[in-house]
Amino acid sequence: MTADEALIAVLDGLDSVGVPYMIVGSLASNFHGIPRSTRDADLVVDLGPGQLERLAGVLPPALKLNQQSAFETVTGTTRYLVELAGSPFVCELFLCSDDAHDRERFSRRLRVRLAERTAWVSSAEDAIVTKLRWAGHVNRAKDRDDIRNILAVRGLDLDWHYLRRWSDIHGTTPLLDEIRASLQGFA
């Protein structure tokens, strides 16, 4: 099973047990910006009672859902891993939190054509807002690159009022301005 097939199997599994989800992280950035390689797929999920166990039961044998949760420190959310046997690829399932932006971005998710199927993905603006939060906490170059790439591809089509509101709330407006200014002819 390839990483793409694993992702499709996880999305199919989520759909089959009725778990609302959205693709976030590098895959959302790839959709809205300039694609880069990645060894994981990040999804935000809104799990109901018993849905985690049902999901584990519908996944193909090559995928193992680790039902032992972990706490993700940057976002302050609970995370579960779906591992692909014999591969470094993992699918990370982050529980949708009560954080105001987490709830709003989930309500704004888009139904798109991705990975040869219809899937839910975060909006370009919400991918940027989330990447700004990550870049501000752990200063990862790939988050800055993802933001720059989304701005380069979608910049004029973005809802700048929305971006400014959340970057002001999160204290990441200077970083947004810095990255925006780094794009020639865009500032």
Residue 57 lies in a domain: yes
Tell me, yes or no, whether 186 lies in a domain: no
163 and 128 in contact (C-beta within 8 Å)? Answer: yes
The per-residue pLDDT string of the chain (187 residues; one tens digit each, 9 = 90 and over) reads 888 899 999 999 999 999 999 999 989 999 999 988 888 899 999 999 999 999 999 999 999 998 777 777 666 778 899 999 988 889 999 999 888 999 999 999 999 997 778 999 999 999 999 999 887 666 678 888 999 999 999 988 999 999 999 999 999 999 999 999 988 765 5
CATH assignment of the domain containing 15: 3.30.460.40
pLDDT of amino acid 137: 66
Assess if residue 31 is contained within a domain: yes
pLDDT at 186: 59
Total of domains in the chain: 1
Helical (H) or strand (E) element with 181: helix 173-181
Q: Is the pTM of this model over 0.95?
A: no
187 falls within a domain: no
Domain containing residue 163: 3-181
Within a domain: 28: yes
Is 96 inside any structural domain? Answer: yes
CB 141 within 8 A of CB 163: no
Say if 159 falls within a structural domain.
yes
**C-alpha distances in angstroms, 150 versus 49, 59, 137, 139, 161?**
36, 32, 20, 18, 16
89 within domain boundaries:
yes
